[in-house]
Amino acid sequence: MKAYLFPGQGSQHIGMGKALYDHSAEARQLFEKANQILDMELTQLMFEGSEEALKETLIAQSAIFVCSTIVATLAHLTPPMAVAGHSLGEISALVTAQVITFEEGLQLVATRSKAMQACCKLIPGTMAAVIGLGDQLVQNICAAITAEIVVAANYNCPGQLVISGTQAGVAQASQALIQAGALKVIPLKVAGAFHSPLMKNAQKAFKSALDAITFATAICPVYQNVTGLPVTDPETIKQQLLEQLVSPIYWTATINQMEKDGITEYIECGPGHVLQKLVRKINPTAKVSSLMVG
């Protein structure tokens, strides 16, 4: 059984999607539709822009979503057996599962990214990847820091957990984690403290955007980040997508649950190879591949 996976922010790179644009009329039409919906030349920023511009939350999230959904659309994945997305990628997964349309998904991404960006400006935050410690120890160290906000945010694979919070909170936790034996604590180049309480203010705007869209029942199980469990019910999907803004990403649990449910092959739809690498670390015997070239 195959599952289709969709990457999140951080997978973007200059030139992403250009081969699709140049060689497929169907892809070109969707790229141009995205430019129109966003009222910006997203394709120009993707194909010829600067690395700095492509790191901006709105541009990065929109670019990854557009590439991922176009790749899946061109592959005609009907019906997929299961889908999952990492953070932002969950919205891409919902398009493939026919819960929402491409246009609705892009509107959600635009609202989500703008709301998250506003939170980043309101309370500066950051994230860091912790390598080589158990999840429980990382959680305990974060919980012991009470004067600042710092939490476990992304359970990516065994031995790799991302923490998120205020700049001072992440700095304090990073020092304590190194002292506790972490092999590395790597600061991430992100605009803020994603998947932490610092994103609380983003939920209001995102909820309004979600409420404006009627979600359909998924045509296949959608394994959602906040639980790692499969869902098809539209209202549950909508609620958990909202919770995801301030909740951890349980990616290890997601892949483990997929394996229990009979998934043996994972296909990444979108730029980069991040999810393939994580799957290999979670389940070394799994078959992994990518639909996107370039």
Residues β-bridged to residue 130: 161, 185
DSSP state string for 54-121:
HTSHHHHHHHHHHHHHHHHHHHT--S-S-EEESTTHHHHHHHHTTSS-HHHHHHHHHHHHHHHHHHHH
Question: Within a domain: residue 133?
Answer: yes
Please say which residue of 187, 207, 235 terminates a domain.
187
Q: Is 70 exceeded by the pLDDT of residue 82?
A: yes
- The reported pLDDT for the residue numbered 294 is 58
Clarify whether residues 259 and 169 are in a common domain. no
Q: Say how many domains are in the chain.
A: 2
Are residue 129 and residue 116 in the same domain, yes or no? no
Query: Would you call 239 helix, strand, or coil by DSSP?
Result: helix
> Is 267 in contact with 291 (CB distance < 8 Å)?
yes
The reply to whether 217 falls in a domain is yes
Regarding whether 36 and 177 lie in a shared domain, the answer is: no
For the cut 70, the answer to whether the pLDDT of residue 5 exceeds it is: yes
Query: Are residues 266 and 250 located together in one domain of the fold?
Result: yes
Assign 3-class secondary structure to 29-61.
HHHHHHHHHHCCCHHHHHHHCCHHHHCCHHHHH
Q: Which of 187, 213, 233 is the last residue of a domain?
A: 187
**209 and 175 inside one domain:** no
Asked which of 136, 163, 187 is the last residue of a domain, the reply is 187
The answer as to whether 192 is a domain residue is no
What pLDDT, on a 0 to 100 scale, did the predictor assign at position 114?
Answer: 95
Q: Are 253 and 155 in contact (CB under 8 A)?
A: yes
Per-residue pLDDT band at 76 (split at 50, 70, 90):
confident
Above pLDDT 70, what percent of the chain? 99
pLDDT for the residue numbered 75: 87
Where in 167-248 does DSSP place strands (E)? 184-187, 222-223, 230-231
Residues 193-225 have pLDDT tens digits of: 999 999 999 999 999 999 999 999 999 999 999
For residue 125, the cross-strand partners are: 166
Using CA atoms, how far apart are residues 246 and 225, in angstroms rounded to an integer? 11
The range of the structural domain enclosing residue 225 comes to 2-121+197-290
87 is catalytic: yes
- 250 and 149 in a single domain? The answer is no
Q: Are residues 255 and 154 in the same domain?
A: no
229-245 pLDDT, tens digit per residue, is: 999 999 999 999 999 99
Report whether pLDDT(50) > 80. Answer: yes
Which pLDDT belongs to residue 186? 96
From the candidates 11, 62, 68, 87, which is the catalytic residue?
87
Of 195, 196, 247, 290, the active-site residue reads 195
Answer whether residue 291 shows pLDDT above 90.
no
pLDDT band at 51 (very low <50, low <70, confident <90, very high): confident
User: How far is it, in rounded angstroms, from Cα 294 to Cα 288?
Assistant: 17
Residues of the chain above pLDDT 90, percent: 88
Mean pLDDT confidence for 12-39: 93
Residue 67 domain-assigned?
Answer: yes
76: annotated active-site residue: no
Rounded average pLDDT over 29-52: 93
3-state class of 249 per DSSP? Answer: strand
- Residue 141: pLDDT band (50, 70, 90) is very high
Q: Would the pLDDT of 293 be above 70?
A: no
228 pLDDT tier (thresholds 50, 70, 90) = very high
What CATH number corresponds to the domain at position 230?
3.40.366.10
Stated pTM of the model? 0.95
